[in-house]
């Protein structure tokens, strides 16, 4: 259902408030550069710091700016099932194509609890669901067996896997079928994930290098692994630089270097990128040819 280069969009702030003009410009630039879908209000969008009103304003603005040119996968996850349902209902009414739902964080539900959470979401809304597994942030890991059970739910159409376990791609394909959409959640593992059967990546790097990431995704889709490797090597320092400090501080700094209309502002508890992180981002931008 989804494929290619899909940025987990940053949320622009200026002087503590949402910068809606910058956000609209970011969405338009992304689409013109070849991005195949958009994810507002994910972790990279600093969703934990957004009020409900801000969260919904960003989803609405993304859908409006995209204007049907690419799908919008709205970040709707929560560690409170009722809140996730509320987010999904808003996203569906606004015209989102799907909801990105992270595994419930902090609560540490059992695998049965995980299944019950996603079944409750599917019962409450028929919006397609992309299941996001990122145990490094949530602590709770959605096992391959559980993911395959989730894939039996008609509205669970895809997974964003940031477990770092590449064997999961094969395990999911074997248990959920070849049509189950598998997206990488790690930029640096995008190439091996694609070789094993993945069809794209929900990416941090694509925020700042959308054309390069779109070209890389196209090479993978065509099975042109030689070109994909060349582009992977060009992008790799940038992938690593995006996490030289707490995300999304480095990628926001990078966007401010590329666009004079973008502010690097972040919200606490994230703080601006350190001097060492900024130096790594600068070098990676030059190495990739973005600057």
Give the phi and the psi of residue 17 in degrees, each rounded to 5: -110, 160
Longest dimension (CA), the chain: 49
Pairing relation of β-strands 13-14 and 17-18?
Answer: antiparallel
Q: Which of 105, 149, 160, 253 is catalytic?
A: 160
Annotation says 253 is catalytic: no
Q: Which residues contact 32 (CB under 8 A, 6 or more apart)?
A: none
Residue 155: both structure tokens together: 């509205």
Element (H, E) at 203: strand 200-203
Nearest CA to 163 out of 187, 191, 135 is that of 135
Q: Is the CB of residue 48 less than 8 Å from the CB of residue 15?
A: no
Q: Which of 56, 105, 132, 253 is catalytic?
A: 132
Please name every residue paired with 183 in a beta bridge, in sequence order, or none if there are none.
Answer: 160, 200
Annotation says 149 is catalytic: no
SS3 258: helix
Annotated catalytic residues are 132, 160
């Amino acid at each position: 259902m989804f494929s290619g280069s899909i940025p987990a969009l940053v949320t622009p702030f200026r002087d503590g408030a949402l910068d809606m003009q910058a956000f609209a410009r970011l969405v338009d630039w992304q689409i013109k550069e070849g991005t195949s879908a958009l994810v507002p209000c994910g972790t990279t969008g600093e969703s934990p710091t957004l009020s409900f009103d801000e969260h919904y304003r960003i989803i609405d603005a993304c859908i409006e700016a995209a204007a049907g040119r690419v799908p919008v996968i709205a970040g709707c996850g929560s560690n409170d099932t009722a809140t996730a349902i509320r987010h999904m209902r808003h996203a569906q009414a606004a015209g989102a194509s799907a909801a990105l739902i992270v595994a419930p964080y902090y609560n540490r539900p059992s695998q049965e609890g995980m299944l019950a959470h996603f079944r409750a979401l599917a019962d409450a809304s028929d919006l397609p669901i992309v299941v996001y597994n990122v145990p490094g942030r949530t602590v709770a890991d959605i096992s391959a067996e559980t993911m395959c059970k989730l894939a039996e739910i008609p509205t669970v159409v895809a997974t964003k896997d940031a477990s770092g376990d590449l064997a999961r791609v094969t395990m999911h394909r074997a248990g959920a079928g070849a049509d189950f959409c598998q997206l990488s959640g790690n930029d640096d593992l995008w190439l091996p994930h694609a070789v094993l059967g993945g069809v794209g990546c929900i990416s941090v790097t694509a925020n700042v290098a959308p054309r390069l990431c779109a070209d890389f995704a196209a090479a993978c889709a065509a099975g042109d692994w030689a070109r994909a490797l060349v582009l992977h090597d060009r992008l790799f320092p940038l992938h690593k630089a995006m996490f030289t400090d707490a995300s999304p501080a480095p990628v926001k700094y990078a966007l401010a270097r590329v666009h004079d209309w973008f502010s690097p502002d972040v919200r606490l508890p994230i703080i601006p990128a350190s001097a060492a992180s900024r130096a790594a981002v600068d070098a990676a931008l030059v190495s990739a040819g973005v600057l």
